[in-house]
Structure 1
Amino acid sequence: MSKFKELEEIKDNLSNKNYCFIYSKSTNKQLTSLKNKTKLNNLVIFEIKFEESFYPHALGIKPYKMNIEELINKIKRNTLEIKDYQLSLTRGLKREALKKLPNTLKGSLIIGDYDNSKDAFDTNKLLGSTKNSRDASVGLIVIPTNINNKIQKYIPNSLQNEITKNYIINGTERKILFTLEKEKGQEKYNTILFKAKDIPIHNLYYNETIKQYLSVELQEIIKKQITNYNCLTGEPINIENHSSGENKWIAKKDVERLEIEKKDNAKEDIGKIAVMMTEKEMEDYKKNRGMETKEITNPSNEKKLYIIPVLYYNISDLKITKEIEQKFVPMKEKEKSQEIDKSKGQGIGD
């Protein structure tokens, strides 16, 4: 084991992984008014990976008469001598921060411009916990990129054990909305480490820049979590996801009843809902809609599960007034007992 055993211990936790962080250019106060929005604009996406050059600083080790690469090689070979290095006065705090770092990256984070208040701590931005207690705080150097690059590259170059927000310039603090992870060598991100509360996961799926960096498997997982629903009743509906990313829909009959104005090129979509009806109720339903019916003798009073088609408009295609918006309700929680087993439903108009 090397004299600085932390180098081996943390390599599996950090060095073999790439991280992607996503935040909004909107201030945290502005973001509050945008919560639950399924397609946020002005998102900033950046990647980091912890290269070996990061660890001497993170371990509180200063090389003496050698470069970082030589120092790391000596640590690996366990040939480092006392004359080869100096220990930082803050080594104890750095070691504590380094142990916390893997878990810190899985939690609620903020990023902002570093206020340059510490001596010998040269960095551009700070990324760290939202906690009001000391935790791992990573200094990041921003790499200049081509204006056409949608994803920025940051290099971790320093580490401290502090309350991050105390060292960020006022007004530059931004909340991390999503943290993604992939193993070194993997082409695309396959794990969501963190998602901010009240920020729909739709923002990963409907942002084309982000989506191209997600593995097919992760895209499928996200897609299954995007639930469309009738925003006047709260009932989930089975309908093709709208191109806008908006998951709120209003039935055509309610659009007409409430005299909601439609935008240009608005189109109706067919959704499917599950209802419990007797045979007679179902025949009456079909009759009222001009569908073919059959005469039923001795109709059963037993209710069955039917999947029926309903016409909907996505609210992004409608001119929603404040009066109408006040009628919106949140999506109902689906209990296991209420989940639809489509194989048992009798499809109408499929």
Structure 2
Amino acid sequence: MTQTPSHETVRVNLGERSYDIVIGPGLIARAGAEIAARKPGIRCAVITDRNVAAAHLDSLMESLATGGIEAVPLVLEPGEKTKRFDELVKVCDHVLGARLERGDAVVALGGGVIGDLSGFAAGIVRRGMSFIQVPTSLLAQVDSSVGGKTGINSSHGKNLIGVFHQPDLVLADTDVLDTLPIREFRAGYAEVAKYGLIDRPEFFGWLEQNWRDVFAGGAARIRAIATGCQAKADVVAADEREKGARALLNLGHTFGHALEAATDYDGRRLVHGEGVAIGMVLAHEFSARMNLASPDDAARVQRHLSEVGLPTRMADIEGELPATDILMKHIGQDKKVRRGALTFILTRGIGEAFVADDVQADEVFRFLEEKRGS
């Protein structure tokens, strides 16, 4: 991790496919210069959504033009339901219609939905184009923009169709987070806290003491984002295609994805980071139930996430959830399942997550039955 007076740079080390994550204020205004310095003469398709476009597209397009970069924008509808096949086709057609070549770039300006969709298109158009992430949500800055996992949702589950396609550059402008709705910022914070719960207990302790400063902005926010990005960069460099240690990044996600599917990906009821927050509490509580960890650790996780304003219980989700056997079907379809055996990320304590690859379904069923109303 390198630092300038106002920016930090995290390097994702993947040999000749290594890339920088630049974190700090004013990076959308600097995007043209940052991209042109690394890829002179490149042309771009900028993919964004209607909400982000209203706030940031003009600034990015002006920056690209100042850097001598020709760019053609495409504005999609916001929301998780944009991660589907017909929208993927729309993005691919836009890139091809602009006559962009393999050496040109798809630029994702938006949150995780836009990043996942755009990255998938970049990975398959012309058998792989350059890809640049300009994430505009906290969740995307610390999680989905880093590591090369791209994809769309299926009726069978979340993120089941996609490819690994690493970006060439990530520009995480911390200024844009000031305009983020507080609910979305909190949802992204769940992923920040996740890195402490996986294997950085001192970072989780720091967040417990400093989360208000992270929400307020400034140096604490940059530190939190950079620490999260470094944590993910280290794991991705060691296990790019999730064959081992990278699975730890899914702490809370198997439960969380099932809850998202159970709400039909309705962002009014539950957004991804909220599902992860509930899922991380459930993972710690299930670990305690299995006598792997202390109930005090689960209570500590629940207390902190609740303090910052995140939902931490299934009962916090608005409206009724489907029956437990339906939740179990969603869990069984999750991509973390291997040859039918349920795989969860469990824990032996704060910062001691591990992969449990033979969890008994009946234990999970009884646990969820108990937790539904609590």
Q: Tell me the TM-score normalized by structure 2.
A: 0.26
More helix by share: 2
Q: Tell me the TM-score normalized by structure 1.
A: 0.27
More strand by share: 1
